Chain A
Amino acid sequence: MVYENPDGIRIGLEIHVQLNKLKTKMFCGCSSDYHNAAPNTHTCPICLGLPGTLPVLNKKAVEAAIKVGLALEGEIAEETQFHRKNYFYPDLPKGFQVTQYDFPIVGKGKVVIEGEDGEHVVGITRAHMEEDPGKLVHIGSIEKSKGVLIDYNRSGMPLIETVTEPDMRSPKEARRFLDKFRNILEYLDVFDGNLEGAMRVDANVSVHWGTRVEVKNISSHKGVERALLYEIMRQKNVIRRGGKITLETRHFDEGRGVTISMRTKEEAEDYRYFREPDLMPMRVTDWIPAIRETLPELPDAKRARFIEQYGITDMHAKALTSKIMLADFHESICAQGVDPKIAATWTADVLLGELNYRDLVIGADVQGYAIICYNQKNPDIVRHIRVNDMVELVTFFAEGKISDRAAVEVIRSILDSKEEKTPLQIIEERGLLKAESDLVTMAVEETIAENEAAVQDYLGGAEKSLNFLVGQVMKKTKGTADAKTARELILKELKG
């Protein structure tokens, strides 16, 4: 099957990624750990752009850029160098941004994604290093701003901007590209995607192979799909009404899910790039062999190994390698001798599904011990999921001591409670061990099915009918069931 791309959609992305795993900023020793700090407490004369200062490049930032370049199968430039991009905006204290222009550190590369019709190659045009501007907070909306507050804590943070070819043919492909890209960066350990502002995306999109429109300010990788769906619909509507698409820049309003035309400037953008005289050019290709040595196993390679080594399905391997911390978690579980296939099912299908349902994302891990998840909407909700607990649970299940349903209940209970209980504690507390509980559950189900009239009576308000139903369950289990448990199970079943 070949994807026809009926609407002639072309999408290219420009992705800004903060190298937030570095300890310091790009050109000064200010700490990069500013995310919970008061404004303007992580700055110095260099990142405030005061006169007479001399920026010096963070070596680790260059190493990280080369790492990213190699992971994208990109060419690393023989000689690379910084430029000044001149424009006035209050988030730039110097009046220019230090970036790279015609000598980017990374040239042509590629990323393979799962496209509309199977494997699909997205070309990387280039990737370059630059500094992050400060953060602006508009008083009121961006359109009706009454003034702007500036915090320079972010100013001078090291960024890598990656530019793709317009190779994506649907918003879904754009999201998949970003998921893959983000995953690769996390594998490389240069980037923590959970921090605010860690990844910012601009997209250019055109329909019917026509004029492209740039959509700016997409702040999350989930926002990309929404922004592009809206923008494609808008362009198609304009064309349907006989209008024309003009080259323009639009702003994505995440709250409303729409793109808004930015007022076109009367003057064309003219950045007057010139070489940054304060920073010396670099010749770093001799670093490549040593850096290549440090490259971790990347997602595709790990996925292939998981299938091979653990005998699991491609779907499970893909899910488990979609995040490095999850992949490590799975390997730690398997290292304790449980059946890898069963472990994969419980982690990839059940655990991931239940996390997702609760808006819980994996934010950190203690390798070999636990993954730490937090709620995206309410970061105060934090859950530790321990390797040992998964091992215990999978073992109980594999030995037939608990049912499918009970195992799911254990996982849910771990995720729903602040108290850190082990699966064994939960199983004992809730009487989930198969023999007795299964009999009771079965008896409850049968009783309800066989006593339609009594069930209706109870639902109609006749409390007494409940006692009758409990009696039936006791009879069926020959009195071994606990009456209270039976009662609770019936109520659960009827409500449920």
Chain B
Amino acid sequence: MITKEDVEHIGWLARIEISEQETVEYMEKLNSVLEYFGQLDELPTEDVVPTYHVAEIYNVFREDIVEECLPQETVLANTEYKQDGTFRVPKIG
């Protein structure tokens, strides 16, 4: 069971502000999703190898070859918070 505190915690981890009303709403929705997964638990899966990837693809690589980078102006184009070619953000913590 997911509690109100769990929803608040998940919200904090994702840095999403959740109102009191939303907390209750999400709690109910998440619990119904979990309930649905609970139904899957009824199936016998002891001998089934877990599926991690649906595509049966392995070993996708690229060669170590240099490609062109973006110009600095382009990289910084979408922010107004910049200083000497860097992004400037508030202090962390």
Contact = CB atoms under 8 A, between A and B. Distances in A.
Interface string A1-34: 0000000000000000000001110001111000
A149 interface: yes
Interface residues of B, number: 36
A60 interface: yes
Contacts of B29: none
A41 B67 contact: no
Given A29-B67, A39-B85, A282 B92 contact: no
A44 B62 CA distance: 16
Contact of A88 (B15, B70, B91): B15
Contacts, number: 123
Contacts of A30: 66-67, 69
A146 interface: yes
A281 B13 contact: no
A282 B58 CA distance: 5
Interface residues of A, number: 50
B33 to A, nearest CB: 16
A24 B64 contact: yes
Contacts of A147: 88-91
Contact of B93 (A58, A149, A263): A263
Nearest to A144: B91
B75 A38 contact: no
B36 interface: no
Contacts of B65: 23-24, 29
B86 interface: yes
Contact of A146 (B61, B64, B91): B91
A56 B60 contact: yes
Contacts of A48: 70, 75
B64 A60 contact: yes
B13 A86 contact: yes
Interface stretch (A163-171, A267-275, A443-451, A487-495): A267-275
A62 interface: yes
B45 interface: no
A283 interface: yes
B62 A280 contact: no
A337 B57 CA distance: 56
Contact of B64 (A23, A39, A90): A23
B19 interface: no
B93 to A, nearest CB: 7
Contact of B92 (A29, A57, A90, A137): A90
B61 A56 contact: yes
A58 B61 contact: yes
A292 B91 CA distance: 47
A43 interface: yes
A416 B57 CA distance: 60
B64 A59 contact: yes
Contacts of B72: 38-41
Contacts of B53: 275, 277, 280-281
Contacts of A89: 92
A151 interface: yes
A30 B67 CA distance: 6
Contact of B83 (A44, A59, A149, A275): A149
A43 B75 contact: yes
Interface of B: 9, 12-13, 15, 52-53, 55, 57-72, 75-76, 83-93
Interface of A: 22-24, 28-31, 38-45, 48, 56-62, 81, 86, 88-90, 137-138, 145-152, 263, 267, 270, 272, 275, 277, 279-284
